[in-house]
Amino acid sequence: MTDLAKLSDIPIDGMVLRFDSFSYSASLGRTGHHYNDGRLKKQNLELARQRDAAKDKLRERTGQYYAAASELEEERGKNKKLRAQVNRDFENSSLPSSLQRAGRKKIPNSREKTGRRPGGQQGHKGHPRRKHTPDITCEIPAPAEYAESPDYYETGKVIRKQKVCIRLGVEVIEYTAREYRSRKSGARVHAPFPEGFINEVNYDGTVKALAFLLSNECCVSHGKIRRLLSELTWNGQMLSLFREKLHYRNGLPEGAQTDPQ
């Protein structure tokens, strides 16, 4: 081949030959690094293919693992929710004890059975509502079929039933005094008014007590209290008085502004 290349004036520095013979390939031997017939390259390619196949299989198994783990966690949540619904009773939910199902723990009852019927017992002192001293007493006349019939007689017992009414009203007390004027100095004078009568319209302690009761005991807002007192007294001065009391109670300066509502 070298001689032919020289005759044809073809530059050549080597040749690559291919033999389709296993016996000749085995006869070439090997060095300390690789086989002389290129067998190591083939082994490396095969190992690379096996490695890629193992990675693909591992990736598939990892995806299956995560999918199973997610499904397991979801099923655990459903199981926990269902167990909570099944275990509901009168102690951990709004279900009454009368709806307690079979197989549930019973309500402990340490009372001994007496054989008596439930409810009020004969001879036991009852606990009725406290009666009040009546302001108005109205007697209902007995029907003629009872009072005039010989089949009925009066027992002497009077049955009383009361109805308690609460009325909120306004009582106005007015003092008057005649005014005199001095002919010499022109000064105007009058008899002194009792204590508490300073302005033309004044409010006593009952108004303050009502506002305190509504605010502290009934948790009514200040705006609603002002509106109620204004409608009761029908005077704008009531608003300014109550606003001053709010400033004093909340520690605000006298000219501070409050919520217009």
Cα atoms in the 13 Å half-sphere on the side-chain side of 248: 8
Q: How far is CA 229 from CA 33, 70, 127, 174, 239, in A?
A: 109, 65, 38, 19, 8
pLDDT in tens, 146-201: 888 889 898 999 988 998 888 777 888 999 999 999 988 989 999 999 998 888 88
pLDDT in tens, 67-99: 999 999 999 999 998 888 777 776 667 767 666
Query: CA-based angle 96:98:101, to the nearest 5?
Result: 100
Higher pLDDT, 56 or 7: 56
Q: How far is CA 75 from CA 12, 63, 84, 90, 152, in A?
A: 74, 18, 14, 27, 78
Task: With a cut of 60, say whether residue 243 has pLDDT above it.
Answer: no
Q: How far is CA 120 from CA 44, 46, 117, 126, 172, in A?
A: 99, 97, 8, 8, 50
Q: Please, which residues have CB within 8 angstroms of residue 214's CB and are 6 or more apart in sequence?
A: 220, 224, 225, 228
Range with lowest mean pLDDT among 1-5, 143-147, 200-204: 1-5
Mean pLDDT, rounded, for 231-237: 62
If you average pLDDT over every residue of the chain, what do you get? Answer: 78
Task: With a cut of 80, say whether residue 248 has pLDDT above it.
Answer: no
